[in-house]
Structure 1
Amino acid sequence: MPLPLYLLALAVFAMGTSEFMLAGLVPDIAASLDVSVAAAGLLTSAFAVGMLVGAPLMAALARQWPARASLLSFVLVFAVAHVVGAVTTSFTVLLVTRVIAALANAGFLAVALSTTTTLVPPNQKGRALAVLLSGTTVATIAGVPGGAVLGSLFTWRATFWAIALLCLPAAVGIVKGIAAPPGRTDQGTPAGSSLRAEIAQLARPRLVLVMLLGALVNAATFATFTFLAPIVTDTAGLGELWVSVVLVLFGVGSFVGVILAGRLSDHHPGIVIAVGGPSLLLGWIALATLASQPVALLLLVFVQGTLAFAVGSTLISRVLYEAADARTMGGSYATAALNIGAAGGPAVAATTLGADAGAVGPVWVSGLLVAVALIIALPLRRYITPRIGAAIR
């Protein structure tokens, strides 16, 4: 894989740390800003909504810019939003900074995903996506637990400052390592592309279907991930520092899942969906049932991280294949699929926190969402995972 792809992954690491770090900080933010845990959890949904809205909007705007200028601008805006978030005492202001940061993140990821497809051969999009998303999974392994530790030792604000600082080497890497992708005009738009024609790709049933499935699986992942801290401390009865351990285990599992998807999603996506999907459903049911047992919780968090990212990454790679003719907007379609789920999952899961299910309510939501995805996907598996040669036109 080319070096510029790894430089993009470095920036994704910084942004992924920010996107996921609230999973370990929700209780502290709620106490600090005098809001409920459920309200603080909606910061994750606000971020996801910003990414959902921002993905197509920022991608369309960035069509007129060279890729390097687009990526650098988005990273710098992202850093400034975190500086403001670190110093504010208002939950409303914090909510607004999360939306702004999400818009920048969405623009960056949309451009990065489109750029990625130009850096590798047409039949290696899954592998390239795995490298890019490895930045996200490393964030869950090191960045997110590190943020939780910073929050425990200092305050949640220290984590926001750390994210802003992480953006600086990412910005330098973009300046030094990213050039205009092949086939782009001086203005940054690929020669011969039309925004209207790229948007028209959304009328293709297969593209819409894989976006829907990717959104459902990602919603399931975020429904539980956002509220892991209460599950660890309340349901399992573990100390606060165990939240970081659980996040590390989930992150290691997600890294393994992305690697597996990178090896299989280009040529054997149907196997990943047929085997990984039902296993993912059973895993959520097991986690909801056994979360009060610390050993079972630790094991299942790792397993679910692996399965969720293996299946989810495979579905997102299918979006990139199906959106091959949307040369600048295809990345935004993949980003939208990711963040429809990231917005909806925590929002639905938050409604279960005050119910009889308690802290494991979000896990049951995860199981339900995956069940819906399987009901749709399994009968249509051959339709949504055709031979790669047939998907590349």
Structure 2
Amino acid sequence: MTTLTTPQLSPARIRIALLVLALGGFGIGSTEFVALGLLPNIAHDLLPALYARSPEDANAQAGLLASAYALGVVVGAPTIAAVAARFPRKKLLVVLAAAFTFFTLLSAVLPTFGLVLAARFLAGLPHGAYFGIASLVAASLMGPGKRGAGVAFVLSGLTIANVVGVPAITFLGQATNWRIAYLAVAAIFALTLVSLIAFLPAQPGDKAATMKRELGAFGRAQVWLTLLTGAVGFGGFFAVYTYISPIATDVSPLPLQAVPLVLVVVGLGMTVGNIIGGRAADRDVVRTVYVFFALFLVSLAGLALTAQTLPGLFIFVFLVGLSAAGLSPAIQTRLMDVAGDSQTLAAAANHSALNIGNSLGAYLGGVVIAAKFGYIAPVWVGLFLCVPGIVLITASVILQRRRGGTLNGEHRSIPVPLGAE
């Protein structure tokens, strides 16, 4: 593995560069989830005939916008990463930010549902590649022994978006028009684009990278085991998160107007968990995965048993967000350890796996609700999904020990000079 280090940069310059990378994550978190709070507005505007007949059917069809974005992530992450691994990383991030800006702008101005649906798919394509490449750049900026912290810093933009960006932009869209909300997200991406150009130091790509070599990651059992661990873990989270609104209003004694407060508490938990998970991963990646899966199990069980009370709801949704987000930087760091030379593809493919997990969790949660098991049933689905996650990481550990590998940091950084673009 070849990673970049940046000893010649001042601490202030490194912090600014990390903030710029996190700003892109903030934009991605905003664009990924803002549609969920604006579905009725979008359905009413783009599907007026269907909405007049059945608001429920129109809202369900408008929900395809979120699915289209997720599909774009799944398709774009490995494709872009495999093709572009050899490109200079700063220039590639600039191109991805420009793509985000353009396709989000299209989402705001296109006139029909079908065209907006296509724009949302295209907007999802750069998602995984951005996070994957930004994570590698952040790891190099932080230096040896701080890869997890670097990855967590990039992901902090995503978690903070759930606390601030999504509620604020959703409010803006409800107060004005859903198109204004997407214009606001496009403005965030435009600011990211300008900031990347101005403040991110130049970093070369991997000149030896080829599509064949990058795709070789999928020939590694450890890569598959790690990707599946992340998919299952976040599947458990989204089984709960997708249905947090009816859990809050139908199980807990809260009015609909209080749902944004519950979402903020989840987002705060995610922000804290992301920070702790990144720092813990730098000490022991595998142990961090086990610890956060254990906390996830306890948090989901606590939510299932106490969600009918306000203290139980708020305490355990915070812990659910914390434990799920703590897994993310640990799994991303684990992928860096097991991917060999296929760093770019593995880092990006992680986000494809997470989006598959998102869809799986939401689907299974919907299945148990449709089967009349109640709104607390998705929480139990999330808990049961932890079991295969723990089995998968255990299988990864056993396989690695049998092959004589070390469990943490098996691929060390090799300094490469900056400005080699």
Q: How much has 1:204 moved relative to structure 2?
A: 1.7
Please name the residue that 2:381 is paired with: 365
Confirm or deny that 1:239 pairs with 2:259.
no
Matches within 5 A, 1:340-379: 340-378=356-394
Gaps in structure 1 of 5+ consecutive residues: none
Matches within 5 A, 1:315-326: 315-326=331-342
Determine if contact 1:146/1:244 at 8 Å carries over to the other structure: no
User: Are 2:26 and 1:6 aligned?
Assistant: no
1-structure distance, mates of 2:124, 2:108: 16
Root-mean-square deviation (Å): 2.7
Q: Which of 209, 213, 218 pairs up with 1:197?
A: 213
Normalised TM-score (structure 1) = 0.88
Larger-Rg structure: 2
Match of 1:25 in 2: 38
How many Å separate the matches in 2 of 1:230 and 1:150? 23
User: Could you tell me which of 240, 243, 256 is aligned with 1:224?
Assistant: 240
Equivalent of 1:106 in 125, 128, 133: 128
- 8 Å Cα contact 1:150/1:159 also seen in 2: yes
% identical equivalent positions: 30
- The one-letter amino acid of 2:354's match is L
Give the deviation of 1:133 after TM superposition.
0.6
1:105 offset after TM fit, Å? 2.1
Q: Please, which moves more after superposition, 135-144 or 72-81?
A: 72-81
Match of 2:416 in 1: none
1:132 is paired with a residue whose SS is helix
Distance 1:314 1:77 in 2: 28
Shift of 1:221: 1.8
Which of 325, 341, 344 in structure 2 is aligned with 1:309? Answer: 325
Normalised TM-score (structure 2): 0.82
Does 2:229 align with 1:213?
A: yes
Compute the displacement of 1:126 (Å): 0.8
C-alpha displacement of 1:42: 4.3
* CA offsets 1:272-324 (integer angstroms, 9 cap, x no match): 23332122123223323433333322221111110111123312221122224
How big is the shift at 1:211?
1.1
Distance 1:74 1:95, change over 3 A: same
Tell me if the contact between 2:40 and 2:59 (Cα under 8 Å) persists in the aligned partners. yes
| Counterpart code for 1:390 | E
Distance 1:223 1:45 in 2: 15
CA contact (8 A) 1:144 1:247 kept: no
- The letter of the residue matching 2:237 is T
1:40, distance to aligned residue in structure 2 (A): 4.1
- Map 1:1-393 → 2, pairs under 5 A: 2=14, 3-26=16-39, 28-30=41-43, 33=47, 34=51, 35=57, 37-63=59-85, 65-88=87-110, 90-181=112-203, 184=204, 189-378=205-394, 381=397, 386-392=406-412
2:410 alignment partner AA: A
- More displaced 10-residue stretch of structure 1: 229-238 or 172-181: 229-238
In the alignment of these two chains, the number of paired residues is 387
Q: CA deviation at 1:237?
A: 5.0
The answer to whether the 8 Å contact 1:47/1:343 transfers is no
Structure 1 window deviating more from structure 2 (94-103 vs 145-154): it is 145-154
Query: Could you say if the C-alpha distance between residues 154 and 55 of structure 1 is closer, same or farther in structure 2, counting changes exceeding 3 Å?
Result: same
Distance 1:169 1:47 in 2: 21
Assess, with a 3 A threshold, how the Cα gap between structure 1 residues 233 and 159 changes in structure 2: closer, same or farther. Answer: farther
AA at the equivalent of 1:346: A
**1:348-376 deviation line (CA, Å, top 9, x unaligned):** 33334433134344333322222221233
Q: Secondary structure at the match of 1:266?
A: helix
For 1:123, what is the secondary structure of its paired residue? coil
Other structure's SS at 1:305 match: helix
CA deviation profile, 1:225-264 (whole Å, cap 9, x unmatched)? 2332333334435333322211111111011101111211
Tell me if the contact between 2:286 and 2:407 (Cα under 8 Å) persists in the aligned partners. no
Cα distance in 2 between the residues matched to 1:380 and 1:251 = 30
Whole-angstrom CA distance in 1 between matches of 2:350 and 2:186: 25
- Asked if 2 retains the 8 angstrom alpha-carbon contact of 1:210 and 1:384, the reply is no
Structure 2 vs 1, CA of residues 243 and 350 (structure 1 numbering), >3 Å: closer, same or farther?
same
Amino acid across the alignment from 2:288: V
When structure 1 is superposed on structure 2, of 234-243 and 381-390 the one drifting more is 381-390
